[in-house]
């Protein structure tokens, strides 16, 4: 953009009104991208809080994350935003040591092996691997190195690849707990090329799966140091607060408790119909509306599809979204001072009702300081195709089940009188981008939406789960919409 065009573009930007439907991270980031070039922006969030998958709660005076608690460092996009928002000094790495694995058939709980990728070991005879899969599993996995290279081929399913090359014990005892904990998915449904980029190519080069894992590990050496994830001292809610403050500084109108019921085309723009909160004057009109030159839909998939279905052809079928519940426990439990299971525990599918546990006060030093001798533990339930075991329970029963699971997973005996407070959060998680077919479904949605002038869609259901995918996607979509509106 040359300087002589700047006044004209600035004037054109000021004439735009962008309505962002949804105040999750994707919506807030997209709104900020539009507001910072001078566009008038209104953010409408149906719930009473911004943030979407980033949620905070207070347990006995301690503010804790009850949604996303960290961000992946890959790509550097999240860290760049954190730095832009003045939160660089709040960035902290996780602590507490390696996570453990629980529910191993005929074997005690054990630390997850080091040097693996998605649970796939480079050396099946490594002691921490053999402890989990046994001698029988180690020898079966070693057969992978003896198979002729011509039998390798290209396998899209991660579970089928691991099972055929290294056997059921590696797949079920090492890989399945990781894919369930990270993607809420069975390894057979995980796309190898998405979850482990370069693995199939390395397998073709080396001729064995364990050798391919070793090659990828060697290639990762020399890359940027640091943990795969980072957090924020004070909680990830600080990112939401900073985004809101930035939007307000840019003059954006940010509203919570404001549900959008319908989108309609209005000439070259849009009419956004809004349902006022239930506690407003009963004599007020049932529906109000805003006129927008552009709309960014940033809600979860079901509500997004309801809003855009009448305007966008070729969206394809909706993906199945797992319902996850996270129960956070505040405990008076000195027996956890020694962090008996490191930073947390993953479970072998079918062995426990919980899929994972995070020992939050072991993992995050700032939270340990805030807890002042008490302990915070997050217990996660539910995965793809499997409803959360807590789904039909009331809050007290859900907390009791989480306490029972925490006792089993942490290897200590926790009693109800040690439970000081509990919080339960339910998340409808977007279909993981690593699932087979998810990439094609998202591409179809993107193509269909781009054909509609003045419309953009952001969020995990089109970008993939995790801030490292949602944030750069929201920036790119907002940039595309800005370009459509500002350039003839």
Q: Give 254-306 as a DSSP string.
A: EESS-EEEEEEEETTEEEEEEEPPTTS-TTS-S-EEEEESEEEE-S-HHHHHH
The reported pLDDT for the residue numbered 1 is 44
Residue 279 φ/ψ, nearest 5 degrees: -90, 5
The answer to whether 239 touches 54, Cβ cutoff 8 Å, is: yes
Of 175, 132, 97, 133, which Cα lies nearest the Cα of 358?
Answer: 97
Token reading at 392: 């039909």
pLDDT in tens, 396-430: 999 999 999 999 999 999 999 999 999 999 987 77
Kindly report the number of other CB atoms within 10 A of residue 246's CB atom.
18
DSSP 192: H
Instruction: Name the phi and psi angles at 426, rounded to 5.
Output: -110, 130
* pLDDT for residue 11: 87
Fold of 322-428: Polyamine Oxidase; Chain A, domain 2 (3.90.660)
DSSP state of 431: P
What the block records as the tokens of 204 is 């073709």
Q: Position of tokens 């723009």? A: 269
pLDDT bracket for residue 303 (50, 70, 90):
very high
Pairing status of strand 419-428 against strand 253-255: unpaired
Tokens of 123: 């050396």
**What mean pLDDT is reported for the chain?**
90
Q: Reply yes or no on whether the pLDDT at 234 is more than 80.
A: yes
Q: Report the predicted TM-score, pTM, of the whole model to 2 decimal places.
A: 0.91
pLDDT of 221 > 70? The answer is no
Decide: 123 and 210 in contact? Cβ < 8 Å.
Answer: yes
Fold of the domain spanning 102-220: protoporphyrinogen ix oxidase, domain 3 (1.10.3110)
Confidence of residue 6 (pLDDT cuts 50, 70, 90): confident
CA–CA distance, 314 with 330 (Å, rounded to integer) = 47
- pLDDT tens per residue, range 344-397: 999 999 999 999 999 999 999 999 999 999 999 999 999 877 889 999 999 999
| 3-50+236-319+436-486, CATH topology level | FAD/NAD(P)-binding domain (3.50.50)
Q: Where are the domains of the chain?
A: 3-50+236-319+436-486, 102-220, 322-428
Specify the pairing of strand 110-111 against strand 269-275.
unpaired
Interval 302-324 mean pLDDT: 86
What pLDDT, on the 0 to 100 scale, is given for residue 18?
98
Environment class of 302 (CB within 10 Å of its CB; exposed 0-12, middle 13-18, buried 19+) = exposed
Q: In what order do the strands lie in the sheet with 269-275?
A: 259-266, 269-275, 288-292
In angstroms, rounded to a whole number, what is the distance separating the alpha carbons of residues 487 and 264?
Answer: 23
> Does the CA dihedral 454-481-457-315 come out positive or negative?
positive
Task: Please give the Cα distance from 166 to 153 (Å, whole number).
Answer: 15
Predicted confidence band of residue 478 (pLDDT cuts 50, 70, 90): very high
What is the C-alpha to C-alpha distance for residues 488 and 479, in angstroms, rounded to an integer?
15
Q: Are 406 and 359 in contact (CB under 8 A)?
A: no
According to DSSP, the residues that pair with 15 across neighbouring strands are none
The encoded tokens of residue 342 equal 């490191």
* 430-454 per-position pLDDT tens digit: 777 788 888 888 899 999 999 999 9
Ramachandran angles phi, psi of 415, nearest 5°: -110, 155
Rounded-to-integer distance, Cα 291 and Cα 197, Å: 44
Q: What are phi and psi of 47, to 5 degrees?
A: -80, 180
462: alpha, beta or left? (left if phi > 0; alpha if psi -120 to 50): alpha
Percentage above 70 pLDDT, the chain: 93
The DSSP line for 50-98 is SBTT--EEEETTEEEESS---EE-TTSHHHHHHHHTT-GGGEE---S--
Backbone torsions φ then ψ of 159, nearest 5 degrees: -65, -40
Q: Provide the pLDDT for residue 207.
A: 86
Residue 242 pLDDT: 98
Torsions phi, psi for 377 (to 5 deg): -130, 135
Residue that is written with structure tokens 């998202």 in the block? 442
Q: How far apart are CA 473 and CA 26, in angstroms?
A: 8
């Amino acid at each position: 953009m040359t300087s002589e065009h700047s006044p004209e573009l600035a004037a054109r930007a000021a004439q735009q009104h962008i309505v962002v439907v949804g105040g999750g991270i994707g919506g807030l980031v997209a709104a900020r991208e539009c507001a910072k070039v001078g566009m008038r922006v209104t953010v409408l969030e149906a719930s009473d809080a911004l943030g979407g998958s980033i949620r905070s709660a207070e347990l006995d005076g301690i503010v804790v994350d009850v949604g996303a608690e960290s961000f992946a460092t890959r790509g550097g996009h999240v860290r760049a935003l954190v730095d832009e928002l003045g939160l660089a000094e709040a960035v902290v790495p996780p602590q507490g040591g390696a996570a453990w694995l629980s529910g191993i058939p005929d074997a005690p709980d054990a630390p997850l092996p080091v040097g693996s990728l998605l649970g796939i070991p480079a050396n099946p005879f490594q002691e921490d691997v053999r402890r989990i899969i046994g001698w029988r599993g180690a020898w079966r996995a070693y057969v992978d190195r003896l198979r002729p290279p011509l039998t390798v081929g290209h396998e899209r399913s991660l579970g089928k690849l691991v099972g055929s090359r290294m056997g059921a014990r590696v797949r079920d005892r090492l890989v399945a707990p990781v894919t369930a904990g990270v993607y809420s998915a069975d390894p057979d449904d995980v796309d190898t090329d998405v979850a482990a980029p370069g693995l199939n190519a390395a397998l073709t080069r080396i001729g064995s799966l364990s050798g391919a894992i070793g090659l990828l590990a060697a290639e990762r050496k020399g890359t940027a140091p640091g943990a795969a994830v980072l957090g924020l001292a004070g909680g990830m809610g600080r990112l939401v607060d900073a985004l809101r403050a930035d939007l307000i500084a840019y003059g954006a109108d940010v509203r919570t408790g404001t549900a959008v019921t319908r989108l309609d085309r209005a000439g070259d723009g849009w009419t956004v119909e809004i349902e006022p909160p239930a506690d407003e004057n009963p004599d007020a009109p049932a529906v109000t509306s805003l006129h927008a030159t552009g709309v960014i839909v940033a809600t979860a998939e079901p509500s997004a599809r309801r809003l855009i279905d009448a305007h966008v052809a070729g969206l394809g079928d909706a993906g199945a979204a797992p319902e996850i519940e996270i129960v956070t426990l505040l405990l008076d439990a000195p027996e956890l001072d020694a962090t008996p299971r490191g930073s947390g525990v993953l479970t072998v599918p079918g062995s426990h009702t919980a899929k994972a546990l995070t020992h939050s006060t072991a993992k995050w030093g700032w939270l340990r300081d805030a807890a002042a001798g008490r302990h915070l533990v997050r217990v996660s339930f539910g995965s793809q195709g499997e409803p959360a075991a807590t789904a039909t329970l009331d809050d007290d029963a859900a907390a009791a089940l989480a306490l029972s699971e925490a006792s089993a997973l942490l290897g200590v005996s926790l009693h109800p009188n040690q439970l000081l407070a509990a919080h339960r959060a339910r998340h409808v998680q977007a279909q993981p981008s690593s699932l087979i077919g998810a990439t094609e479904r998202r591409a179809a949605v993107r193509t269909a939406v781009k054909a509609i002038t003045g419309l953009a869609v952001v969020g995990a259901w089109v970008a993939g789960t995790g801030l490292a995918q949602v944030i750069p996607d929201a920036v790119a979509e907002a940039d595309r919409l800005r370009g459509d509106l500002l350039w003839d």
